[in-house]
Amino acid sequence: MSLLVVGSVALDSVETPTDKRDNVLGGSAVFFSYAASYFTDVRLVGVVGEDWPSEHTELLKKQKIDVSGLQVIPGAKTFRWRGKYQPNMNDRETLEIHLNVFEKFDPQIPASYQDCQFLFLANGTPTLQMHVLEQLPNAKLVVADTMDLWINIQNDELKALMKRLDGLVLNDSEAKLLTGDENLVRAGHKVREMGPKFVVIKKGEHGAMFFSKDETYVMPAYPTPDVIDPTGAGDSFAGGMMGYLASKKEATPQTLKEALAYGTIVASYNVEDFSLERMKQIGRPELESRMKDYRRMLSF
Amino acid sequence: MSLLVVGSVALDSVETPTDKRDNVLGGSAVFFSYAASYFTDVRLVGVVGEDWPSEHTELLKKQKIDVSGLQVIPGAKTFRWRGKYQPNMNDRETLEIHLNVFEKFDPQIPASYQDCQFLFLANGTPTLQMHVLEQLPNAKLVVADTMDLWINIQNDELKALMKRLDGLVLNDSEAKLLTGDENLVRAGHKVREMGPKFVVIKKGEHGAMFFSKDETYVMPAYPTPDVIDPTGAGDSFAGGMMGYLASKKEATPQTLKEALAYGTIVASYNVEDFSLERMKQIGRPELESRMKDYRRMLSF
């Protein structure tokens, strides 16, 4: 079943303690759609400037991602982000951010996308996310991401959006900020009580937690020793999760748990190189192989 | 099969963001032995002063913990620790520490303990831990804990000890300090290459990681919303783990993994109140009930 993602498309410059890359392919909708494409058809809505290398579009098309919703704005520049990771590879500092075309991004959902039943609202203001949601009244499962900035400056808009979501995905620090509760188990349920039917708290190298009315559980991250660049880990996690759910055509307690596990596995590959380099090297067989190992790891 | 623990016996004063307790029962060997006592016979070696309330000894005896190795030093005071937890309940500050009788602790293993085959060397200097180990040449499984202080000031002694251990249990920050590696997966294996056959890295609210030559896995913490006081969580984890191993009479890959799960469950109860208050309220049925839930949580 087709999955639609609306979010940022970017050129990232990343510094890690041992290496760096400049102006490589990035953005929440890019990591998400590539990760989801292992499982299902994906349609992308985003915006870039005329500096956007066409090879990036070709890469997404090659993965059968429908990019007819990718607007190219003449005479303008693509969203750029520059960040630096601390030695722990978990904390990062934003060195530069140029929103460029993303600042006035007004997502228009192509008519050909109207039948999408699975919708992911990636990085963007809650106002923009609501605007997208309203263009897709037939969506069956709507999940959004959010970030500390919107919790701080668009809190009312975020809370209004949350009442209309099936699921919300956010970081541990964001869940604490949103609820004022330092205990993640309590924070997860408090977020859920704000509207979403389920909440996923991403804990980076420590995995993810799931909260619904009837369930609370934790999925550890897959323990890879090769963490090269964590950029996009949260988006590739969400992409794997939503891609798997769309492939199963429904979100039941069972498919949701499997989806979180697939998201975990895709993210574990994503962090093993810069940009989409590692994800480009793998396919469903590599995901299934690591999933088998992950299942064995959690069995006793 | 009988299990012996040698470590600190203390009176703790604990402040959390919402509550506090003064001079309550604590110490690594106390948390460890109580946690292990759900599974097997436990013998304790430690030292206290004449200020030690006899009710604490009675509590341990009631749990069938053999305290004939608990020395009482006349005219001296028991080890006291005062600490304060940050709002995240993971980071803590030591406000006061009075080693008192623990400073010159010279553990003597009673003849009646010589047949112990499972040995846990809890908090203490590597020199002291080695001294104990040498008094028990027949021990079949020797596991130790360590801490940042010994990594810093008794590094050579710790490394000599590590070559003689079956297992080492340590915190995530300690594993990073010991190896200089910020990636916990690599750090875990580097610690293992220093000697122990297996290594367990404790990550507090994020669970624990296991490393042997053939295996690497992660066990998330049980997601309890009721974290009242994390003091002793690491020791009760180790106690549950070693107690279960002793009850199974051998450490195989399978019993080790089950042991880590039991350690996780015992620790999840321990943090639900100050001192041993919560552990005192439960028995094997409560552990099995939560274990069932934990297994279900990790199954998909």
**pLDDT tens for chain A, residues 1 to 300:** 799 999 999 999 999 999 999 999 999 999 999 999 999 999 999 999 999 999 999 999 999 999 999 999 999 999 999 999 999 898 899 999 999 999 999 998 999 899 999 999 998 999 999 999 999 999 999 999 999 999 999 999 999 999 999 999 999 999 999 999 999 999 999 999 999 999 999 999 999 999 999 999 999 999 999 999 999 999 999 999 999 999 999 999 999 999 999 999 999 999 999 999 999 999 999 999 999 999 999 999
Of the CA atoms within 13 Å of residue A255, those in its CB half-sphere come to: 11
pLDDT digits (tens, 9 = 90+) for B194-238: 999 999 999 999 999 999 999 999 999 999 999 999 999 999 999
Query: Touching check for B253 and chain A: CB below 8 Å?
Result: no
- For residue B167, the surrounding DSSP H or E stretch is strand B167-171
- CA distance readout (Å), B125 to A276, B169, B194: 47, 14, 18
Q: Which amino acid is at A87?
A: P
| CA-based nearest residue to B9, from B232, B265, B169 | B232
> With contacts defined as CB-CB under 8 Å, which chain A residues touch B251?
none
What distance in Å separates residue B184's CA from the closest CA in chain A? 8
Residue of A nearest to B17 (CA): A182
Residue of B nearest to A258 (CA): B300
Residue A123 burial by CB count (10 A; 0-12/13-18/19+): exposed, middle or buried?
Answer: buried
Please provide the average confidence, as pLDDT, over all residues in chain A.
96
Query: Touching check for A87 and chain B: CB below 8 Å?
Result: yes
Phi, psi of B143 (to 5 degrees): -125, 140
What span, in angstroms and rounded, lies between the C-alpha atoms of A120 and A4? 6
A140 close to A119: Cβ distance less than 8 angstroms:
no
Q: Is the pLDDT of residue B123 over 90?
A: no
What span, in angstroms and rounded, lies between the C-alpha atoms of B72 and B50? 6
Do B185 and A223 lie within an 8 Å CB cutoff?
A: yes
**Which are the contacts of B236, defined by CB distance < 8 A and separation ≥ 6?**
B31, B32, B34, B35, B263, B266, B267, B269, B270, B279
- For residue B217, the surrounding DSSP H or E stretch is strand B216-219
What pLDDT does residue B222 have? 98
Q: Is the pLDDT of residue B178 over 80?
A: yes
Q: Is the pLDDT of residue B1 over 80?
A: no
Q: Measured between CB atoms, which of A186, A216, A257 is closest to B300?
A: A257
What span, in angstroms and rounded, lies between the C-alpha atoms of B262 and B255? 10
Query: Touching check for B300 and chain A: CB below 8 Å?
Result: yes
What pLDDT does residue B13 have? 98
**N- to C-terminal Cα separation, chain A:** 35
What distance in Å separates residue A128's CA from the closest CA in chain B? 33
Residue B293: how many CB atoms within 10 A of its CB? 14
Query: Touching check for B209 and chain A: CB below 8 Å?
Result: yes
Task: Give the single-character DSSP code of B18.
Answer: S
Percentage, residues of chain B above pLDDT 90: 95
Residue B85: how many CB atoms within 10 A of its CB? 20
What span, in angstroms and rounded, lies between the C-alpha atoms of B75 and B101? 10
Q: Is the pLDDT of residue B189 over 90?
A: yes
Query: Touching check for A89 and chain B: CB below 8 Å?
Result: yes
B32 close to B120: Cβ distance less than 8 angstroms:
yes
Q: Measured between CB atoms, which of A183, A216, A219 is closest to B227?
A: A183
Query: Touching check for A209 and chain B: CB below 8 Å?
Result: yes
Q: Measured between CB atoms, which of A185, A189, A300 is closest to B257?
A: A300
What span, in angstroms and rounded, lies between the C-alpha atoms of B170 and B261? 16
Mutate which of B16, B183, B186, B244 to test chain A, going by most A C-beta atoms within 10 A?
Answer: B183
The pair of three-digit structure tokens given for residue A34, joined into one six-digit string: 């590539």
Q: Measured between CB atoms, which of B183, B186, B223 is closest to A218?
A: B223
Q: Measured between CB atoms, which of A183, A219, A223 is closest to B225?
A: A183
Do A206 and B209 lie within an 8 Å CB cutoff?
A: no
Q: Measured between CB atoms, which of A186, A216, A223 is closest to B218?
A: A223
What span, in angstroms and rounded, lies between the C-alpha atoms of A223 and A225? 6
Strand partners, A150: none
What pLDDT does residue B250 have? 95
Query: Touching check for B184 and chain A: CB below 8 Å?
Result: yes
Domains, chain A, in order of start with CATH, read: 3-297 (3.40.1190.20)
What pLDDT does residue A44 have? 97
The pair of three-digit structure tokens given for residue B96, joined into one six-digit string: 């006061």
What span, in angstroms and rounded, lies between the C-alpha atoms of A162 and A159? 5
Query: Touching check for A205 and chain B: CB below 8 Å?
Result: yes
| CA-based nearest residue to A33, from A12, A63, A53, A55 | A63
Q: Measured between CB atoms, which of B186, B221, B300 is closest to A258?
A: B300
Query: Touching check for B88 and chain A: CB below 8 Å?
Result: yes
Query: Touching check for B227 and chain A: CB below 8 Å?
Result: yes
What distance in Å separates residue B118's CA from the closest CA in chain A? 22
pLDDT digits (tens, 9 = 90+) for B35-87: 999 999 999 999 999 999 999 999 999 999 999 999 999 999 999 999 999 99
Query: Touching check for A221 and chain B: CB below 8 Å?
Result: yes
Please provide the average confidence, as pLDDT, over all residues in chain B.
96
> With contacts defined as CB-CB under 8 Å, which chain A residues touch B261?
300
Query: Touching check for A224 and chain B: CB below 8 Å?
Result: yes
pTM here?
0.95
B14 close to B21: Cβ distance less than 8 angstroms:
yes
Do B217 and A223 lie within an 8 Å CB cutoff?
A: yes
What pLDDT does residue B90 have? 85
Strand pairing class (B42-49; B118-121): unpaired
What span, in angstroms and rounded, lies between the C-alpha atoms of B209 and B195? 17
Spatial strand order in the sheet of B10-15: B20-26, B10-15, B79-85, B92-98
What pLDDT does residue A90 have? 85
Mutate which of A18, A92, A177, A183 to test chain B, going by most B C-beta atoms within 10 A?
Answer: A183
Residue A41 burial by CB count (10 A; 0-12/13-18/19+): exposed, middle or buried?
Answer: middle
Three-state SS letters, chain A: CCEEEECCCEEEEEECCCCEEEEEEECHHHHHHHHHCCCCCEEEEEEEECCCCHHHHHHHHHCCEEEEEEEEECCCCCEEEEEEECCCCCCEEEEEEECHHHCCCCCCCCHHHCCCCEEEECCCCHHHHHHHHHHCCCCCEEEEECCHHHHHHCHHHHHHHHCCCCEEEEEHHHHHHHHCCCCHHHHHHHHHHCCCCEEEEECHHHCEEEEECCCEEEECCCCCCCCCCCCCHHHHHHHHHHHHHHHHCCCCHHHHHHHHHHHHHHHHHHCCCCCCHHHHHCCHHHHHHHHHHHHHHCCC
What distance in Å separates residue B213's CA from the closest CA in chain A? 15
Query: Touching check for A297 and chain B: CB below 8 Å?
Result: yes
